[in-house]
Amino acid sequence: MKWNAWNNLRTKMIVFMLLPIVVCTVAAITISYSHTTAALRTRAIEENRNLLYQGSRNIDSLLQEVNRISLSVYSDSEFYRLLDARNDDISSNIAIYASLNYIYKAIPDIYQVYLYGVKDNKSTIITQDTPKRWQDPAPYPISAVPENNPLQIQTTHASHHYGLTAPIPQATTEQVFTLHRRIEKIPTSQVLGYLSIDVKLSALFGIVDQLYDRNEEHLFILDSAGNAVYTEDEQLIGKPLLADWYTMQTAGFDSDQGSFEENGSVFIYQRIQSSGADWMLVKQIPVSYLHSEANQAAKINASLFGLALLIIIAAIVLISIRITSPIKRLSLYMNQVQTGNLQVDITPAGNDEIGVLTERFRDMMDTINNLILREYKLELSSKNNQLRALQAQINPHFLNNTLQIIGTLALELKVPQIYTLISSLAKMMRYSMNNDDGNVTLKDELEHVKAYIELQKERFENRFSFHYDIEDSLLQIPMPKMILQPIMENFFKHGINVSGSEGWISLTATKDDEGNMSIIVQNNGAHIPEDKLKRLHNSLSLSGAEQVRPGEDEHAGERHSIGLGNVLTRLRLVYGEEAEMTVANFKPAGVRITLKFKVQDESGMEET
């Protein structure tokens, strides 16, 4: 038989068991990944907002510190007086140098300090611990902040000497941002000078380095004009930021703090407004880096799922094979039976439902084989009996007609006893020669026994009596032919005392509520010797068909037409292997033979 792959039960089991597992697992991983990434993004944004806020506070503190230092020109009364006095002596210069040097030394990251005095038209600069002072007709343009904005912070730029001739030829250029302050005569707005403090960009490094991962993230500090105050790309410092995300999100910086997603990155920003500065601190986090933990977890889950799937597939295949193999084996058994092989060796398949089914199929085949064997043996026995009867008869119709002529002659000669004997013999011959009847009734068997007894009474000159006790309701029970007469015959062959006159033989039949029939034939003849009785028990304990076959001798040198083994064999052929025969000596004298079998109705079903 060819199996279609899809119609194969094993394929269906594997597919329908794997499909929900794969779908549910993939859905669980997808939902888990989506939820994890969303949670990671929310948590990362919140954490980075707090981080940038703290960073903005630190930058604000730095700017406030620089602003506080620039205000020292008002607290230093001598310095303030010199700006207003227009003195141009050595002591005045030394005092101005000392005040500016204080500012220069106040913070390690101050690169240089520039001062322009309006009244004396002189510019003073301190750079790399070297003070210089020049006569200058006008302040440096960037330092000259207007009256309406006395404090400004210039974005990061390359350091310069404010238009003066290089005070130190070997001075290096440094990236700095500058605080410009207008010095006024309090309480008026009259300008006394302009102060510029250049702060190294490195002053921000210690702050911003704690705000982002240089290998994966990016950080920007932008001024209000969009110029880069700080970024790790030195070529962009001090220049307008032209990135797409910035030009598209310029309007989104109206709030002091927020976040947005653009071009595969998440941007978190924090505004810094302090001491003349309006800066924006922006952190760029690639989504791939933000989801790196989730991706790693997804890879681990996918690996575990793959391993679990392999184990599940192996388990499902083993289970499907365990389930379908007995079914295929049972199908092969059925195919063999279909081809006519009824002697199939059916192996049990376990204790589950399929195993029970296989066991039931084996029992069914055993029942079928037993029924076929029983019918075959019954038919064989019937044929052998018919053959034996044919061999024994010599023109039975001629004999029957001759017996009728002799009986008529006996009546004419007024010898009724001879007529009675001849009638009994004719009745027995008709009963035994009627081969059309497979089964007869107990009544037929009883009538045959009565005719046989009549002949034996004449033979033994009435030295015995015959009794029977059978209810009328049992007389119509079907049974095999020639069952009772062979049992009766044993009494006259082996047990009767030919010299005595008080012999007897009895026949009783009973049936219980469960349909079990018992037929007992007993007599007061001689006991069976113990050794012969033992051999007889051994013979009857085996199958009658194996020990005694119709037409064969039961013992060498001793011929029986129909023996006890034959009776038991035919009983078992009709009533099954449960039918039994017991032979026992009867005290004080005699033998009891008991037949037990389950009565069947006309349809062949056992009565209940």
pLDDT digits (tens, 9 = 90+) for 207-248: 999 999 888 899 999 988 889 999 988 888 988 888 888 877
Which CATH number is 160's domain given? 3.30.450.20
Determine, yes or no, domain membership for 517. Answer: yes
Determine, yes or no, domain membership for 425. Answer: no
pLDDT band with cut points at 50, 70 and 90 for residue 499: low
CB atoms within 10 A of CB 527: 17
Q: Which two tokens stand for residue 251?
A: 């309007």
- Domains identified in the chain, total number: 2
pLDDT value of position 538: 85
Determine, yes or no, domain membership for 174. Answer: yes
Q: Are strands 218-222 and 516-523 parallel, antiparallel or unpaired?
A: unpaired
pLDDT band with cut points at 50, 70 and 90 for residue 559: very low
Residue 88 pLDDT more than 50? yes
Q: Tens of pLDDT along 304-348?
A: 888 888 888 888 778 777 777 777 777 787 887 777 777 777 777
pLDDT band with cut points at 50, 70 and 90 for residue 180: very high
3-class DSSP state of 559: coil
Q: Report the distance separating Cα 234 and Cα 272, nearest Å.
A: 22
pLDDT band with cut points at 50, 70 and 90 for residue 163: confident
Which CATH number is 506's domain given? 3.30.565.10
The set of long-range contacts for 430-433, using a CB threshold of 8 Å and a minimum separation of 24, is 430/400, 432/389, 432/482, 433/389, 433/393, 433/396
Residue 579 in contact with residue 597, Cβ under 8 Å? Answer: yes
Q: Taking the model in full, what pTM does it have?
A: 0.52
Beta bridge partners of 113: 126, 197
Determine, yes or no, domain membership for 483. Answer: yes
Q: Report the distance separating Cα 170 and Cα 421, nearest Å.
A: 166
Q: Report the distance separating Cα 175 and Cα 200, nearest Å.
A: 6
User: Which residues constitute the domain of residue 534?
Assistant: 466-608
Q: Report the distance separating Cα 382 and Cα 479, nearest Å.
A: 14
- One-letter amino acid for residue 345 of the chain: D
Determine, yes or no, domain membership for 265. Answer: no
Of 151, 180, 200, the last residue of a domain is: 200
Of 200, 235, 264, the last residue of a domain is: 200
> 356-369 b/e with 16+ CB inside 10 Å = b?
eebeebbeebeeee
pLDDT value of position 560: 35
The average confidence (pLDDT) of the chain is 80
The number of helix segments (H) and strand segments (E) in the chain equals: 16, 18
Determine, yes or no, domain membership for 12. Answer: no
Of 200, 228, 246, the last residue of a domain is: 200
Determine, yes or no, domain membership for 32. Answer: no
Pick the residue with more confidence: 550 or 23? 23
Strands (E), 390-442: 439-441
